[in-house]
Structure 1
Amino acid sequence: MLAATVIVFREVLEAALIVGIILAATKGVEGSRRWIAMGIAAGLMGSALVAGSADALNEALAGVGQELFNASILVVAVVMLGWHTVWMSSHGREMAMEMQRVGHAVSVGNRPLSVLAVVVGVAVLREGAETVLFIYGVSASGEESRMATAIGCGLGLLAGVAIGTLLYVGLVRIPTRSLFTVTTWLVTLLAAGMAAQAVNYLAAAGILDVETQPVWDTSPLLEETSIPGRLAHTLIGYVDRPTVSQLAAYGATLLAITGLARMTSKSA
């Protein structure tokens, strides 16, 4: 549940901030709210279609082996989470400035109001499609039930919309840089944990021949199946009996995402 909450919160907050920038830049423009609402609705409908396609893909590939399918979903989710983190580290500010320019151009009459629906719709669709993929990765990890994942999605959605709304109306003063730094680290650790889980599925499917002997055993101190252990597993990918392959996948993913994010951030 916690993994789904973190991912959905991050994606919804990004979409809410984009919508907030557009709303602020077109404040007072007659008809702008209607076009923005149309864009949000179109983006949500597109995200629903993506979710339906993912369900169809799941059914079509059901015969190839559940372990292999789950590993594939996890690997794709890790790559997408990493790409998203790296891209936002270098283009986040640029994207926000572009949204301001579009809103200003509409407000002074240089661009039609329909542009608002297109810009907002694309933003909502992008974040929604990424959310669908990431949630499939969480489900493929087998760590949470569908009910827990659904509850986590609901909590993340409510929290993202609430924080985005409060930031827009100015009721809270949370530095967005600090907020996204915290969520970026959470998402990066989630991706590293997914990579370690993918190694397990690939080994179970016979794709990887890896050592199954644990490097250490911290279960007497903190069992992975306990409530604190599951919390640590979700937040930082904690495993009480990790293998060499799991540690290698976890460390490589962590280093790759953070290293590339720093490189692109400096170049930007």
Structure 2
Amino acid sequence: MPGIALLVFREVLEAALIITIVCAATRGVPRRGLFVGGGLILGVLGAMLVALFAGALANAFSGVGQEVFNAGVLLAAVFMISWHVLWMSSHGRAMAAEMQALGGAVQSGSSSLMMLLLVVALAVLREGSEVVLFLYGMVAGGAVGVLGGLALGVIAGSAVGFALYYGLLRIPLRHFFSATNAMLMLLAAGLAASAARYLVQANLLPALTDPLWDSSWLLSNGSLAGQTLHILIGYDARPSGIMLVFYTVTLLILLGGMRWVSRAADPRAGPAAAAIAAQPQS
């Protein structure tokens, strides 16, 4: 049971941290919980569907179907998160002003919520499919304590996600959107690098140099700290050159896009800021 609990914990933790950061970044947006719940349900259903067709998926694309599938899910998540980062760059300042002036009654963000639903669904789909396939193999092999390990892993992974979420909410509002946008950028870059690793494994991309460096002596990929940093900032103890290219290009695109969007959004932030400035001081 401990081995099952540890594996489930790792997979749930990865999905939980992704969902946590994105949820924190949509703080104050109405009906967010509905979209998060919808994403969770879609992700679980998708994971079950993947498990049902696991054999066909593994044999697809000349036997590298699982790698191609994982890379596709990761790149889709990168796109969704990147869209959200750019959306927040243009609306975050106005949302912060409205939350301060109206006590959190923010009425914008419905378009971003659809992206939230998709990011949650993709995170649960990828990690959930791996959990389902692993547990299926364990049950077929006669393993015992599967349900207990599953429950323990889910509870522990979810608890860490909730702890991070409530920690993020303690960030002062004036710094909140900048902090969560920075975390989302690093998250997207890390997911892009992971997608590159899967594409190298599928022989669809050259590794360039593999490994580019080896920091396993300092922090291994298998350690809890290494896994957490891998999720949050894309840490890899033995990255290939193409992974670094994907990571860097994603960061540069997002940084450039944020600067461009922020400049274009400045005039729209004026009315909300002016309304606060015009309020009588107590």
TM-score by length of 2: 0.62
Post-superposition CA distance 1:187-228 (Å, at most 9, x none): 211211111111111121222233353222222233232333
- Decide which of 54, 57, 61 is 1:62's aligned counterpart: 57
Structure 1 pair 208–14 and aligned structure 2 pair: CA distance change class (3 A): closer
- Decide which of 217, 231, 236 is 1:234's aligned counterpart: 231
Structure 1 pair 212–233 and aligned structure 2 pair: CA distance change class (3 A): same
Aligned partner of 1:261 in structure 2 is: 258
Q: Secondary structure at the match of 1:17?
A: coil
CA contact (8 A) 2:18 2:231 kept: no
Cα RMSD between the aligned structures?
A: 4.0
1:173-252 to 2 correspondences below 5 Å: 174-252=171-249
2-structure distance, mates of 1:137, 1:261: 28
Shift of 1:138: 5.6
Task: Name the amino acid aligned to 1:84.
Answer: H
1:160-171 to 2 correspondences below 5 Å: 160=165
Q: Tell whether 2:42 aligns with 1:50.
A: yes
CA contact (8 A) 2:48 2:129 kept: no
Shift of 1:263: 1.5
Q: Secondary structure at the match of 2:28?
A: helix
1-structure distance, mates of 2:127, 2:28: 25
Aligned partner of 2:123 in structure 1 is: 134
2-structure distance, mates of 1:77, 1:49: 17
1-structure distance, mates of 2:224, 2:34: 40
Mean Cα displacement is larger for which, 79-88 or 39-48?
A: 39-48
Aligned partner of 1:71 in structure 2 is: 71
Shift of 1:258: 1.8
Aligned partner of 2:20 in structure 1 is: 9
Structure 1 pair 92–242 and aligned structure 2 pair: CA distance change class (3 A): same
Structure 1 pair 139–40 and aligned structure 2 pair: CA distance change class (3 A): closer
Q: Which runs of 5+ in 1 are unaligned?
A: 20-38, 105-115
Q: Percent of aligned positions with the same letter in both sequences?
A: 33
CA contact (8 A) 1:233 1:239 kept: yes
The total of aligned residue pairs comes to 225
